Amino acid sequence: MLPTVFIDIDNTLIVPHHKLSNRNLKALQNYLAAGGEVVFATGKIPVALYNLIERLEVKDRYHIGGNGAVLFNLAENKRELLAHVGNQAEKILLKSRQLNINGFFYTDEALYYSDENYQGERNESFTALEEPIPQAINDIDFNEIVKVLFFVDATDITFENHLRFHYEPLFENLNFVRTADYLLEIHHKNQTKGLAASRYAEIFELDLKDAYAIGDSDNDLPLLQAVGHPYIVENASETLKKHNFSILPSCADDGVAFLLNQLLTQSTLPKGK
């Protein structure tokens, strides 16, 4: 019996701003056809995954969106909200406008920007998969906000510290989490892919010790620690590499396909940490 594999999307399965590679696509199709279970565990919101889910014919399966905010099933139109920023997002919005810093606010179906003068200069960053076009954050229910994103280069420590200084005093049960070299997000402290995977395991009576996971970013750490067989791609963050997880070829070199194909052929693999 093939194991369940939790797979991150950006920089793990798909190179940002690129299409799903033919090799990864074929490996996913073969794995699913052989009876394997694939769960996408991503920072993207559910609507961004619809085309990918339909293409792979996995609409009837559950996936994790919003970095652990929501567990959803497209075929049954089911969503279980596990954790979210909620109405604390209103404080974050007000502070963003005071500081003249644009933040992006996500519900599980839409994307909003905070800067009233925003001209769409970052639209290219939201084109991978089918993420919705950002729109003005007017007349929304802040309880629906699942996460807040800022574009902050990992090398710009001064700007990152500036954000933390101004935003962290506002937080109640929220954390800053780096999800890419250029992305810094605000999540609920209980909003992790690991906790979402645990909920998935509870529903389907899955022993996570038998499951595999593949990731690349710091936000994947709780998921990697939750499963019995954690893997990272070669382009993973230095933080993840310090944990001595087993390393696959990079995202650009189709590391996901490498692992899935090995599982299909039942080759002997290092079992990870």
Task: Judge whether 5 and 213 are in contact, CB under 8 Å.
Answer: yes
Residues sharing a CB contact under 8 Å with residue 15, sequence separation 6 or more, in sequence order: 21, 251, 252
Gap between the Cα atoms of 248 and 98, Å rounded:
44
Q: What percent of the chain has pLDDT over 70?
A: 93
- Strand order, beta sheet including 212-215: 37-40, 4-7, 212-215, 229-233, 246-248
Sequence ranges of the chain with CATH classification 3.30.1240.10: 86-188
Q: What percent of the chain has pLDDT over 90?
A: 67
Say which CATH class 4-81+191-264 falls into: alpha beta
Residues sharing a CB contact under 8 Å with residue 97, sequence separation 6 or more, in sequence order: 114, 115, 116
Residue with tokens 């699913």: 32
Q: Which of 107, 75, 71 is nearest to 89 (CA)?
A: 107
H/E stretch holding 236: none
| Whole-number pLDDT of residue 272 | 52
In this prediction, residues 181-210 reach a mean pLDDT of: 94
**Which pLDDT tens digit goes with each residue over 234-252?**
999 999 999 989 999 999 9
pTM check: above 0.95 = no
Average pLDDT over all residues of the chain: 90
SS3 198: helix
| Whole-number pLDDT of residue 67 | 92
Task: Judge whether 245 and 232 are in contact, CB under 8 Å.
Answer: yes
Q: What is the CA radius of gyration of the chain?
A: 18
Q: Which of 209, 218, 233, 156 is nearest to 185 (CA)?
A: 218
Task: Judge whether 10 and 43 are in contact, CB under 8 Å.
Answer: yes
Distances (CA, A) of 90 to 7, 19, 101, 148: 32, 35, 14, 11
Question: Which one-letter amino acid corresponds to residue 260?
Answer: L
Question: Which one-letter amino acid corresponds to residue 5?
Answer: V
CATH code 1.10.8.590 for 86-188: no
Sequence ranges of the chain with CATH classification 3.40.50.1000: 4-81+191-264
Residue with tokens 């089918």: 130
Listed range (24-33, 52-61, 155-164, 259-268) with the worst mean pLDDT: 259-268
| Whole-number pLDDT of residue 268 | 45
**Which pLDDT tens digit goes with each residue over 104-151?**
999 988 999 988 777 665 554 555 567 788 888 888 899 999 999 998
| Whole-number pLDDT of residue 109 | 87
Q: Which ranges in the chain belong to alpha helices (H)?
A: 22-33, 50-55, 89-99, 157-167, 193-204, 221-226, 238-241, 255-264
